[in-house]
A and B are shown apart, each in its own frame.
Chain A
């Protein structure tokens, strides 16, 4: 399919005690593309991301990130990746700028102040740079979170449900940042439970269900998997309100009276 896979997962399995979360997951992510892992809550998306970012060990299977084995060369993998977890991993007590400087220092970079200032500008956080993150809105926290993940320009970025809990405008801002990233050649693995998000951003979409990838392709390919759109006549079932009204024997004219509690 592609010559250079930035992420390659083969036969990945993981159980928590008796719960078999991943039952053999396989997928490849091409370099510089946005790959969406789609699935409902508890499907195991976060588990995949945690294994790929060396936070968890898989029970079986192999996985490589940027050419390094996650189990065999975790230190190299950590040099190549950045993780933006499900909950904004920012330090509330520090200011936005201090958060960025902290990560830049931990990535052993020079000119940490310059790096922080550039990212603050890019993510429109300059005005809030000196404020404690605890005063930030949800959207600002997420932007800072993603900005922190870009420090050191890692070739692979994991975004675990990056827009959960964001309002539509903040969500659009995050989407823009993700598109910019891929535009610069960064590989992005994104997990989401919002179909629209996958549709908007991803070059390829994989659906994780019951511990396996049950579909994997571009949006157009996935659409082809399903029967074409057609007109159907569907029998309309009565709603609870219809049932209630039928049982209590009230017609439309006396509905106001019945909801006021006068019927017996």
Chain B
């Protein structure tokens, strides 16, 4: 009976959280400033000394910066969810005749939309400082698809954090270790100069395959080597995080 309203209820609640974001634009700015600053730092300070191959360094760097943008963004998803749970408005929604998972899905979709806005901002700055790609619409669509998949996977992680955190800081802090992953990956420099164990870690963690896939798509190179591990990582994290988040969510009402 209530499932019939799922789409409508989720849309109403999505509208609500999007209004929150529109009224606190500082969160979007906070989310985008750090990746943009990193991008400027690496392009204009370290970039000259880094050997990543031919072409402008920003072309090499952008995919990793985009992933960092998403990681910064999802920490706010955890905080928004936690704030709702604390304020009692979540209980109001739960005691109303609406589809129960709508409240959660609205946060997930909000996360996707706000991250896409941040990503567009970061790409625009990258273009300003010299990023260029000859990739066609299909390649860009594939890049967007992978970024959305990565956002969804991390968003469900954020949902777990938001549901189980005891403090606002805790709801956002889970993303800090994830921010470090791009630094030990192929995001800033190729992994081949890293010492054995570090390189082994870098080559086999999710960020490297995702970064390589996006980089190859934008550089119009074949992606066959990295796209499958990239998709497997994203889907794997997504499925596990979704299952744990749903379990946590339903256990709250027991």
Q: Which residues of A contact B (CB under 8 A)?
A: 50, 53-57, 75, 78-79, 81-83, 85-94, 98, 102-103, 105-108, 132, 148
Contact of B89 among A54, A78, A91 (CB under 8 A): A91
In whole Å, how far is A144's beta carbon from the nearest beta carbon of chain B? Answer: 12
Total A-B pairs, Cβ < 8 A: 70
Distance between Cα atoms of A98 and B5 in the complex (Å): 20
Contact of B12 among A82, A93, A94, A106 (CB under 8 A): A106
Which stretch (B16-24, B54-62, B185-193) binds chain A? B16-24
Contact of A92 among B87, B92, B97, B254 (CB under 8 A): B87
Report yes or no: A102 in contact with B16, Cβ–Cβ below 8 A. Answer: yes
Q: B8 near A: Cβ within 8 Å?
A: yes
What 4 new A-B contacts, CB under 8 Å, besides A85-B91, A91-B16?
A: A53-B95, A54-B253, A56-B254, A90-B87
Cβ–Cβ < 8 Å partners of A132 in chain B: 23
Report yes or no: A89 in contact with B97, Cβ–Cβ below 8 A. Answer: no
Task: Among A53, A81, A93, find the residue whose CB has the most chain B CB atoms closer than 10 A.
Answer: A93
Report yes or no: B20 in contact with A93, Cβ–Cβ below 8 A. Answer: yes
Given A56-B254, A107-B96, is A93 in contact with B91 using a C-beta cutoff of 8 Å? no
A to B CB contacts below 8 Å, 25 in the list: A50-B91, A54-B94, A55-B91, A56-B253, A56-B254, A57-B253, A75-B2, A75-B97, A83-B91, A85-B92, A87-B87, A89-B87, A89-B89, A89-B92, A90-B87, A93-B19, A93-B20, A94-B19, A103-B92, A106-B9, A106-B12, A106-B98, A107-B96, A108-B97, A148-B92
Q: B25 near A: Cβ within 8 Å?
A: no
Cβ–Cβ < 8 Å partners of B88 in chain A: 85-89
Report yes or no: A78 in contact with B96, Cβ–Cβ below 8 A. Answer: yes
Cβ–Cβ < 8 Å partners of B8 in chain A: 108
Q: B1 near A: Cβ within 8 Å?
A: yes
Distance between Cα atoms of A102 and B12 in the complex (Å): 7
Contact of B95 among A57, A81, A88, A94 (CB under 8 A): A81
Cβ–Cβ < 8 Å partners of A107 in chain B: 96-97
Closest 9 CB pairs of A and B: A89-B88, A89-B92, A83-B95, A53-B95, A78-B97, A85-B88, A87-B88, A79-B97, A105-B12
Q: B228 near A: Cβ within 8 Å?
A: no
Report yes or no: A75 in contact with B12, Cβ–Cβ below 8 A. Answer: no
Closest B residue by C-beta to A87 = B88
Q: Which of B81-108 contact A (CB under 8 A)?
A: 87-89, 91-98
In whole Å, how far is B12's beta carbon from the nearest beta carbon of chain A? Answer: 5
Closest B residue by C-beta to A86 = B88
Report yes or no: B89 in contact with A106, Cβ–Cβ below 8 A. Answer: no
In whole Å, how far is A72's beta carbon from the nearest beta carbon of chain B? Answer: 14
Distance between Cα atoms of A183 and B98 in the complex (Å): 28
Contact of A98 among B1, B19, B24, B91 (CB under 8 A): B19
Cβ–Cβ < 8 Å partners of A82 in chain B: 95-96
Cβ–Cβ < 8 Å partners of A55 in chain B: 91, 94-95, 253
Given A85-B91, A87-B87, is A103 in contact with B96 using a C-beta cutoff of 8 Å? yes
